[in-house]
Chains A and B, each alone.
Chain A
Amino acid sequence: MTLVESMRAIAPALLVAAILVACGGPAQAQDAVVHITVKNHRFEPSAPHAPANRPITIRVRNLDSTAMEFESVSLRVEKVVAPNSEGVINVRALSPGRYGFFDDFHQETRGTLVVQ
């Protein structure tokens, strides 16, 4: 009884989520893409460049054997990237400037996104 009721309550939420997933497209083609690699807990490049006033897609490749969390307060990003895999992050259009980022799990690992 309880389970059935629970399922009834869950169903609309799952439906909504499914519809949203179905409607959502991939990142827009005009997005600028920034590739960052993490190896031995170092960002490479540590100061990547990106164009201003355009949405940016950041692709973080984690080559280490442990998970990392790509985080940036100014970019409003928090994303866990599993070992030996890639994380994709959407960032809205930015005004020119320097935006710091770091690995929340290894806080000495830092870098800066240079937007110009």
Chain B
Amino acid sequence: MLAALLIVFREVFEAGLIVGIVMAVTGGIAHRGWWIGGGAATGVLGACLAALFAASLSAAFEGFGQELFNAAILLVAVAMLTWHNVWMARHGRDLAAEMRAAGRAVQAGAKSLAGLAVVVAIAVLREGFEVVLFLYGVAAASEPGSGLAILAGGVAGLALGVATCVLTYLGLLTIPSRHLFAVTTVMLAFLAAGMAAQAVAFLEAANALTALGAILWDSSWLLSDRSLLGRALHTLIGYSDQPTALQFLVYLATLAVTFALLKLFATEPVAQSAAS
């Protein structure tokens, strides 16, 4: 039971962190519950579908279907996070003003929520895939008595993952609201950079990328990226204990592009909102 709990928790933990951050980011926007809930539900459905077709997914692209699929959806998530950040930089102030004038808040909020709902769906899909396969295997194969204990462990692991999500959300809410926007913008930028580096790792595993494949450093003696703290940092800022040069480069490039875009777009709305 404990093994099952740990396996499931380890997977849902990362999704929990991401969903918690998205909840904090979207705090106060109308109907965000529907968007985030819808994203999570879509992710669960996608995980079940991916698990159902796991064999054909793996067999695709000469055995590297899983890796390429992961890389592709991670890159979509990177695009969504970056788009959201830039959109918020452009419209954040207007949005805050509109939320006070409640009428237009729904319309304005929906735009920024759509991208984040996709991010939630992708996070849940990726982590849910293994959980579904694992729990299905347990349910299908094991003898009656032990199967139930393992399922109980799985459910407990899921509950802990949800707790991670809630704690992340509540933790971020303790940040004074005038700083929250700045903090979550930086968090989303690092989240995106980490995902981009991870996408590179998947493409490298599939031999789709071979350039700059030398490992830059090995800090596994200090903090393994398999440990809980390592995994948390892996999700939050893209920590890897043995990154390749290309992963590191893509990581830095994603950060640079995001902050450049933010700088480019952030100044406009001040003038706009002052004029209107």
A residues lining the B interface (CB < 8 Å): 1-3, 5-6, 9-10, 12-14, 16-17, 20-21, 23-28, 59, 64-69, 73, 76, 79-90, 92, 104-105, 107
Contacts and interface: CB of A to CB of B under 8 A. Distances in A.
A80 B163 CA distance: 26
B237 interface: no
Interface in B170-227: 203, 205-209, 213, 224, 226
B208 A85 contact: no
Nearest to B57: A82
Contacts of A17: 68, 71-72, 75
A85 B59 contact: yes
Contacts, number: 113
A20 B208 contact: yes
Contacts of B63: 59, 86-88
30 contacts: A1-B111, A5-B83, A5-B114, A6-B114, A9-B83, A9-B115, A10-B76, A10-B79, A14-B75, A16-B75, A17-B68, A17-B72, A20-B208, A21-B208, A24-B206, A26-B207, A27-B207, A59-B63, A66-B138, A66-B140, A69-B134, A80-B130, A82-B54, A82-B57, A83-B55, A85-B55, A86-B58, A87-B63, A90-B205, A107-B3
A42 to B, nearest CB: 14
Main secondary structure of the interface of B (DSSP, over half): helix
B7 A67 contact: no
B242 interface: yes
Contact of A6 (B51, B118, B209): B118
Interface of B: 3, 7, 51, 54-55, 57-59, 61-64, 66, 68, 71-72, 75-76, 78-80, 83, 110-111, 114-115, 118, 129-130, 133-134, 136-138, 140-141, 203, 205-209, 213, 224, 226, 242
